[in-house]
Amino acid sequence: MPARRGPPARRPRRAPSRGGRAEAAWREFAASFARAGMVPPAEAGLAAVEAAEGAAVLLLAPRQTLTFTGKCRLRCLYGAVRLLGFAVASHQPALPVFSPATHCALTLEALPADRPPAADLRQLRAAARAAMRAHSVRRQARVKVMARFSAECALVLLEHLDTPVTRFLLSHLPLSRLFEPQKKEEPSFTPEDAVLASVGIVKCSPDRGLLVSESMFLALEELIQACCAEDEGVPVVLVCGPKNTGKSTFNRYLINLLLNRLPSVEYMECDIGQTEFTPPGCVSLSNIAEPILGPPFTHQQTPRKMVYYGQTSCEQDTERYLDVVKYVFSSYKKEVPLVINTMGWVKGEGLLLLIDIVRLLSPSHIVQMDVYDWKAMAPLTPEYVHLTPGLYTKGKQQAKCKRMGTSGAENWKSSEGEGDALAPEYKLLYIHPEFPRAGVAGEARVHSGILRDMSILGYLGQLQSPDIGAVLPLHSLVPYQVPFSAVALRVIHTDVAPTNIMYAVNASWVGLCRIPDEIRCQTDGPVLLTQTPVCDCLGFGIVRGVEMEKKLYHVLTPVPPENLRLVNCLLLGNIAIPNCVLVGQQGVEGEIPYVTSDYNYSILGSGKLKKKKHFKRREYAFECDYT
């Protein structure tokens, strides 16, 4: 059983593990309260009271925790709480909080609040009462809460949360149960559970939440210190490790912890398969000022810089991948700390590529996540990186880089002199994740393709208008139109016969990009690029239709018009519109293009090419119609 850690500011302490007998006693205690018609505490100190329709006040004793799945809006009324590292005090606005069953559950934890030392309990009670009144907590509820009030406790207002994005996501059948608990964890259902359920969350076992291992705790402590120290330069933290070792969760936790102390942090996404703030297939640089309290599909945001690479893995074209990384990194201004996320591809060429990236980005810290045996990847010590050749860069022992010979990758080694290159200077921090199934390939809770679909849906959710309570189907929205001749077109991942290119473009997912060149065309027909540009991507859209007579593309996109007018290039990669979007179209006339129920996957040769891997079957919690 891995230890759960508290905030890094204090010594880690094991979570109190109550024996079965004590638990039964508490349950009995709770039941007695319920019988008496009083506030039923499920645990010592924890109490939830219905505050209004779809709202609840939660009272937590100091250090008390609540791990939950579901979604809600959270506001601290009194004291302070912490959520995935981010401290929320009573002066902060309400935060949307998402804890779907597909991801590591969030844990709410009461902190001892900093308050004036001489504060009188009566004043504190008055403050708490006033805060509750200000958020129209019912009188009855206020009385109940105040009965259990203590100066050190924390009061949290939880409200039902329903955003256009979540409504849109949940409207797709495969995801409709996204925020519901996967199975009933507690055999008994207390009135308190009912109160929580009414705001949309369900308590779950603490080990569904983030499990902070000793090594992670130490690494976090060091990183926070480095980021908050005034004297040294701004840290650049590169996080790497094999798939499913908790890189993303670690990043979120780290960023949230940093945001407690800094106004913003920069984040560079190099994992094109599982992007945090953008749809998949992108390398991007984002400025993060808001805490990350949910999975990627709940916080899609426009990055400062983004390039659409167009694939979910870079094996096919590692050179362009490095060009893209370099291009995006060049707009990092080194004013605020940077967290760099990398791909889980750390075997063979993947490791070599990672070494290239380390050389290219020269981080100040590398966080390497791996299970204990180091089978997946060697420790990336500065010495190791110094000596080991990368995929495109050479190690110290090699005379000249042989594989380069390109204009693209040469300049990034300018800092290193010929022959006696200096060893890179960074601090390597190991993290050994200790959650169950850590690092086991194919044991992720959700298939990576479904996670990608979810971030695309999260992105498309921005098309929903905020003031309508119902979900508008994508195909019913009014699209933009742009002439063939005004935007260049390029299919990134495969060669398509030019005469047939509209068959590829129609009803496809495209990157809306800007190339510096002016679009030159001899005819009014489409302009096809002869190579894939490394250029700014301003967002994404769906080519809703191609009008051959008027030579127009019709595009659905949430990109604001002031940015959209800059778009002069459409890039088409192998990232597809989620199947559920196409299949789920309702109320249309006739057949839905590209959708059939006649395709029989059991016929030999009907499926895709599978790599010869012998992995265990995954447990798909959310099955889309992949076959």
Give residues 515-544 in contact with other proteins (rule: CB under 8 A). Answer: 515-517, 519-534, 542, 544
Write the binding mask 373 to 412 for other proteins: x where contact by CB under 8 A, - elsewhere.
Answer: --------------------------------xxxx----
**Segment interacting with other proteins (CB under 8 A) among 219-227, 261-269, 338-346, 467-475:** 467-475
For 106, the token pair is 């969030």
- 65-78 and 282-288 as β-strands: parallel, antiparallel, unpaired? unpaired
* Closer of 206 and 584 to other proteins (Cβ): 584
Q: Which of 89, 127, 496, 621 binds other proteins (CB under 8 A)?
A: 496
User: Any residues with CB less than 8 A from the CB of 502 and at least 6 apart, and which?
Assistant: 526, 546, 548
* Closer of 295 and 545 to other proteins (Cβ): 545
- The answer for 82, left when phi > 0, alpha when psi is -120 to 50, beta otherwise, is beta
* Closer of 187 and 615 to other proteins (Cβ): 615
The least CB distance from residue 557 to other proteins, in Å, is: 10
The least CB distance from residue 432 to other proteins, in Å, is: 31
Q: Does 593 bind other proteins (CB under 8 A)?
A: yes
524: amino acid identity, one letter: D
| Distance from the first to the final alpha carbon of the chain | 36
**Can you give the C-alpha Rg of the chain in angstroms?**
26
Q: Which of 16, 399, 548, 613 binds other proteins (CB under 8 A)?
A: 548
For 295, the token pair is 């999975």
Q: Binding to other proteins (CB under 8 A): which residues in 558-587?
A: 560-562, 564-565, 567-568, 572, 574-577, 579, 581-583, 585, 587
* Closer of 281 and 344 to other proteins (Cβ): 281
* Closer of 154 and 175 to other proteins (Cβ): 175
The least CB distance from residue 183 to other proteins, in Å, is: 24
Q: Which of 474, 513, 537, 538 binds other proteins (CB under 8 A)?
A: 474
Q: Does 414 bind other proteins (CB under 8 A)?
A: no
* Closer of 283 and 474 to other proteins (Cβ): 474
72-102 burial string, b = 16+ CB within 10 Å, else e? bbbbbbbbbbbbbbbbbebeeebbbbbbbbb
Q: Which of 502, 537, 570, 571 binds other proteins (CB under 8 A)?
A: 502
Q: Binding to other proteins (CB under 8 A): which residues in 596-625?
A: 596-610, 612, 614, 625
The least CB distance from residue 418 to other proteins, in Å, is: 22
* Closer of 21 and 617 to other proteins (Cβ): 617
Of residues 224, 616, 222, the one with CA closest to residue 440: 616
Count of residues making up the chain = 627
Give SS3 for 599: coil
Q: Which of 139, 414, 465, 617 binds other proteins (CB under 8 A)?
A: 465
For 171, the token pair is 């409207």
Measured distance CA(579)–CA(493) in Å, rounded: 19
Q: Binding to other proteins (CB under 8 A): which residues in 9-48?
A: none
Q: Which of 20, 470, 613, 617 binds other proteins (CB under 8 A)?
A: 470
Measured distance CA(239)–CA(312) in Å, rounded: 19
Q: Does 506 bind other proteins (CB under 8 A)?
A: yes
Q: Binding to other proteins (CB under 8 A): which residues in 128-157?
A: none
Q: Binding to other proteins (CB under 8 A): which residues in 475-494?
A: 475-483, 486-488, 491, 493-494
Residue 124 neighbours by CB distance under 10 Å: 20
Measured distance CA(598)–CA(576) in Å, rounded: 21
Please provide residue 411's backbone torsions phi and psi, each rounded to the nearest 5 degrees.
Answer: -65, -25
480 close to 559: Cβ distance less than 8 angstroms? no
* Closer of 69 and 579 to other proteins (Cβ): 579
304 close to 232: Cβ distance less than 8 angstroms? no
The least CB distance from residue 407 to other proteins, in Å, is: 6
* Closer of 118 and 599 to other proteins (Cβ): 599
* Closer of 397 and 500 to other proteins (Cβ): 500
* Closer of 239 and 492 to other proteins (Cβ): 492
- 106-111 and 65-78 as β-strands: parallel, antiparallel, unpaired? antiparallel
Measured distance CA(290)–CA(263) in Å, rounded: 9
Give SS3 for 439: coil
* Closer of 130 and 595 to other proteins (Cβ): 595
* Closer of 53 and 589 to other proteins (Cβ): 589
Kindly give the interhelix angle for 121-134 and 139-147, rounded to the nearest 10 degrees. Answer: 150
The least CB distance from residue 82 to other proteins, in Å, is: 38
**Segment interacting with other proteins (CB under 8 A) among 143-151, 164-172, 214-222, 513-521:** 513-521
**Segment interacting with other proteins (CB under 8 A) among 182-190, 216-224, 363-371, 499-507:** 499-507
505-533 burial string, b = 16+ CB within 10 Å, else e? bebbbbbbbbbeeeeeeeeeebbebeebb
Q: Binding to other proteins (CB under 8 A): which residues in 41-70?
A: none
34 close to 40: Cβ distance less than 8 angstroms? yes
- The answer for 507, left when phi > 0, alpha when psi is -120 to 50, beta otherwise, is left
Measured distance CA(531)–CA(310) in Å, rounded: 13
The least CB distance from residue 356 to other proteins, in Å, is: 15
Q: Binding to other proteins (CB under 8 A): which residues in 67-86?
A: none
Number of residues lying near other proteins (CB under 8 A)? 115
Q: Which of 127, 401, 421, 504 binds other proteins (CB under 8 A)?
A: 504
Write the binding mask 310 to 339 for other proteins: x where contact by CB under 8 A, - elsewhere.
Answer: ---------xx--x--xx------------
Measured distance CA(456)–CA(174) in Å, rounded: 14
For 356, the token pair is 């290239």
DSSP-H helix ranges across 362-512: 382-387, 407-410, 448-460, 501-505
* Closer of 231 and 467 to other proteins (Cβ): 467
